[in-house]
Amino acid sequence: MEAGTVARIGYQLGTLLAPVAAIPWVRFLAGQRIGLLPSGPTKQELRDDKQVVLLEIEDPLRTKIIDWRWETPAPTSSPRKSSLRSQEKRSRAQPWDG
């Protein structure tokens, strides 16, 4: 993945501002701002949350061959969790010697 000019400048500014972020009162102020955030998403936000999977394949000339977008339920949704639990149970089962 290539980083644009703005991203490279941001990385450079981050390295310059790291010593400032280590000052105790700056760290305290940042912690106060973070403390105002909610402890987690609401049930409505969890229900509406979607995970987007993008698949883009290009040929050597950078022409898009495949450009897919797939929306799936968020990993935190309950049907997904139960599916993961059943996969965990199957993985703990004894292997078949057929």
- The residue to which tokens 């105002």 are assigned: 36
Cα torsion 77, 78, 79, 82: sign? positive
Nearest-CA neighbor of 68 among 83, 81, 57?
57
Domain boundaries, the chain: 5-73
Q: What is the pTM of this model?
A: 0.33
**Which amino acid, 48?**
D
Task: Tell me the pLDDT tens digit for each residue of 43-81.
Answer: 888 778 888 888 999 999 999 998 898 888 777 665 555
Measured distance CA(77)–CA(38) in Å, rounded: 19
List C-alpha distances in Å: 98 to 4, 55, 70, 94. Answer: 55, 37, 37, 12
